[in-house]
Amino acid sequence: MADAPVDTATSVPVAVVGAGPAGLMLAHRLGRVGVETIVLDTRTRHEIETTQRAGILEADVARDLVETGVSDRILREGHEHEGTEIRFGGRAHRIHFKALVGESVWLYPQTDVFIDLADARDRDGGTVHFGVEDTEVLDVTTAAPRVRYTAADGSRHEIRARYVVGADGSRSMCRNLIPEDRRVRYGKEYPFAWFGIMAEAPRSAPELVYAHSDHGFALISQRTETVQRMYFQCDPDESVDAWSDDRIWETLQARVAGEDGFRLAEGPVLEKAVLRFRSFVQEPMRWGSMVLAGDAAHTVPPTGARGLNLALHDVKVLADVLLRALGDGGEAALDDYQPQALQRIWRAQNFSHWLTELLHTPPGASPFDRRRRLGELDNVVGTRAGRTYLSEQYTGWPVSAQG
C-alpha cells in the first residue's frame, strides 16, 4: 500500500490525523499565521457533531476560542459557572471558584466547540476531509513523512508533509508508530465506569452537582433549557438494555438525595451509554517528524473535566513550536514541545485521579475506606485550603503559572 499508485499527491507543511478539538484547533492556530494544513478524520462531520462528550471549558480555553477568532458564540450560548456543588452525607456544599481563586469555568458542550472549529476551517478556507478510510502514516523517521488515505468517494490520496501530527484520539494509531522499545505507557484502569444519559427535562441546578453517596457517585450537568446531561457510577460491564427510564431516575435520585430535599427534575431519557475510562500517558510525544497531541498522547478520567482542556492546551504549545520548526528553528524546535506539555498533563493526571478516587466508591470498599473518604471530603469542603485547592485545580492553570 505504501507505494501503490494514488489519485492525487498534495504537499503541505503539516498533515493532521484527527479532526477532534486538538486537530482542528491546531489547524486553526497554524492557519492564522499562514501555515497550511490538511486534516483527516475517519468519522463524518455529522457523527462527530452528534457524539456527546465533554462540557466544561476552563476560562482560559474559552477566552482562546474568542481571541483567536474561532467564534464568540460561547459568550452568547455558553454558561459561565462561578462554582460547583459537592454533595455527600446528604448535604450540599458550594465551592465558589470565583471568590476563592478569581476564575470560573464555562459550560459549553464539546459538540459546539467542534461545530465552531469546523465552521472556522470552512470560513478560512482550510482543508478538512471527513469520512476517510485506511489512514496510513509513513516515513515518520525521515524529513519527508507521508499520509495516505482513501476518500469517502473511494479515491486514494497522498499528503506529503514536513511534519505529521497524530491527533487521532484515545485509540490512536499514530502513537503505535513509536517502536515498543522506545516508548513508555503509564496508566491505570478503574473498577467502575459512568452510565451517561441525555434526558429531556428542565435544569435541576444552575451549576454542576458532584454527588458522593453510599450508593456511589453521580454528576448532574446541563445542556440546554430542555435537555440535561447526567452520569452515575456503574460497573464497567453494565448493559444499557438493563436500565429502564424508571430505574435510571430511581438510581440518580438516591445518589443526590439529602436533608435539603433536593430532587432531580425527571423526563424521558433520550440517550444512554456506558462510558469506560482510564488514566493514560504515552512518552515520548514525538517520534522523528511526527508529534502526538490530545487524547492520542494522554487520557484522563472525565471526573475532573480536564481532557478537552488539555487537548487544547497541547496544541497551543504545539502551534508555536511547529511554527518555529518550520522557520529558523528547524526540527530541534520540536524538542521544546514535550517538556512544556507534560508538566500540565501530569498535573491534570494527578487532579483527575484524585477527584475520581475522592468521589467514587470502589466495589468492595471496606467500612474504613468509606469513612476515611468522608473524612477527606470534609477536609476538602470544610477548610479554606481544601476549597481553594479544588478551585485552583478545577479551573485550570494559566500558561504563565506553570511553576
Ligand X SMILES: Cc1cc2nc3c(=O)[nH]c(=O)nc-3n(C[C@H](O)[C@H](O)[C@H](O)COP(=O)(O)OP(=O)(O)OC[C@H]3O[C@@H](n4cnc5c(N)ncnc54)[C@H](O)[C@@H]3O)c2cc1C
- Please, what is the minimum distance in Å from the beta carbon of residue 173 to ligand X? 5
Cβ pair 18, 39 in contact under 8 A: yes
Please pick, from the candidates 21, 31, 83, 145, the single residue that binds ligand X as defined by CB under 6 A.
21
What is the rounded distance in angstroms from the CA atom of residue 14 to the CA atom of residue 40? 12
Question: Alpha helices, DSSP H only, in 163-288?
Answer: 245-256
Q: Does 348 bind ligand X (CB under 6 A)?
A: no
User: Is position 23 an interface residue for ligand X (rule: CB under 6 A)?
Assistant: yes
Instruction: Note whether 169 binds ligand X by CB under 6 A.
Output: yes
Q: What is the distance between the alpha carbons of residues 227 and 173, in angstroms, rounded to a whole number?
A: 35
Among 55, 78, 216, 396, binds ligand X (CB under 6 A): 55
Query: Using the rule CB under 6 A, is 29 a contact of ligand X?
Result: no
Q: Please, what is the minimum distance in Å from the beta carbon of residue 398 to ligand X?
A: 16
Q: Is 395 in the site for ligand X (CB under 6 A)?
A: no
Q: Which is nearer to ligand X, 43 or 93 (CB)?
A: 43
Name the residue nearer to ligand X (CB basis): 227 or 257: 227
Q: Would you list the DSSP string of 164-177?
A: EEE---TT-SGGGG
**Alpha-carbon gap, residue 166 to 315, rounded angstroms:** 11
Examine residue 215 and tell whether it contacts ligand X (CB under 6 A).
Answer: no
For residue 109, state whether it binds ligand X (rule: CB under 6 A). Answer: no
Range in contact with ligand X (rule: CB under 6 A) among 20-28, 182-190, 197-205, 281-289 = 20-28
The conformation of residue 264, written as its DSSP 8-state character, comes to P
105 - beta bridge partners?
58, 81
From the list 7-15, 40-48, 67-75, 252-260, the region that binds ligand X by CB under 6 A is 40-48
DSSP 278-299: EEEEEE-SEETTEEE-GGGTEE
- All three cell numbers of 291, joined, read 508529534
Candidate segments 17-25, 80-88, 96-104, 351-359, binder of ligand X by CB under 6 A: 17-25
* Residue 348 and residue 300 in contact, taking contact as beta carbons nearer than 8 Å: yes
Q: Does 126 help bind ligand X (rule: CB under 6 A)?
A: no
H or E stretch at 146:
strand 146-150
Q: Which of 32, 53, 183, 347 binds ligand X (CB under 6 A)?
A: 53
Which one of the spans 3-11, 39-47, 115-123, 357-365 is the region binding ligand X (CB under 6 A)?
39-47
Write out the three cell numbers for 28. Answer: 486553526
| Residue 59 found at the interface with ligand X (CB under 6 A) | no
What value, to the nearest 5°, has the Cα angle with vertex 28 and ends 22 and 33?
130
Q: Work out whether 311 is an interface residue with ligand X (CB under 6 A).
A: yes
Helix axes 21-32, 110-123, angle to 10 degrees: 30
Q: What is the dihedral of CA 57, 346, 230, 59, to 10 degrees?
A: -10
Using the rule CB under 6 A, is 223 a contact of ligand X?
Answer: no
Which residue number, 42 or 282, has a Cβ lying nearer to ligand X? 42
CA distances from 179 to 144, 164, 183 (A): 19, 17, 6
Q: Which of 208, 265, 211 is nearest to 56 (CA)?
A: 208
- 341 binds ligand X per the rule CB under 6 A: no
Determine, following the binding rule CB under 6 A, whether residue 20 of this chain makes contact with ligand X: yes
Q: How far is the CB of 258 from ligand X (least distance, A)?
A: 24
In the three-class reduction of DSSP (H, G, I as helix; E, B as strand; rest coil), residue 220 is classed as strand
How big is the site for ligand X, counted in residues (CB under 6 A)?
A: 34
In whole angstroms, the minimum distance from the beta carbon of 268 to ligand X comes to 20
| Residues 60 and 399 sit within 8 Å (Cβ to Cβ) | yes
Tell me the one-letter amino acid at 27. A
**In the complex, least distance from residue 90 CB atom to ligand X, rounded to whole angstroms:** 26
Least distance (Å) between residue 318 CB and ligand X: 12
User: Of the two residues 152 and 374, which places its CB atom closer to ligand X in the complex?
Assistant: 152
Q: Give every CB contact of residue 323 below 8 A, 6+ residues apart in sequence.
A: 30, 33, 35
Shortest distance (Å) from residue 224 CB to ligand X: 16
- Report, in Å, the least distance between residue 327 CB and ligand X: 26
Minimal CA–CA distance to 315: which of 103, 71, 21, 47?
21
In whole angstroms, the minimum distance from the beta carbon of 35 to ligand X comes to: 19
Interaction between residue 40 and ligand X (CB under 6 A): yes
Query: Please, which residue, 41 or 60, has the CB nearer to ligand X?
Result: 41
Please report how many Cα atoms fall inside a 13 Å half-sphere around the Cα of residue 251, on the Cβ side.
Answer: 20
Residues in contact with ligand X by CB under 6 A are: 17-23, 40-43, 48, 53-56, 110, 135, 167-170, 173, 196, 275, 294-295, 302, 305-309, 311
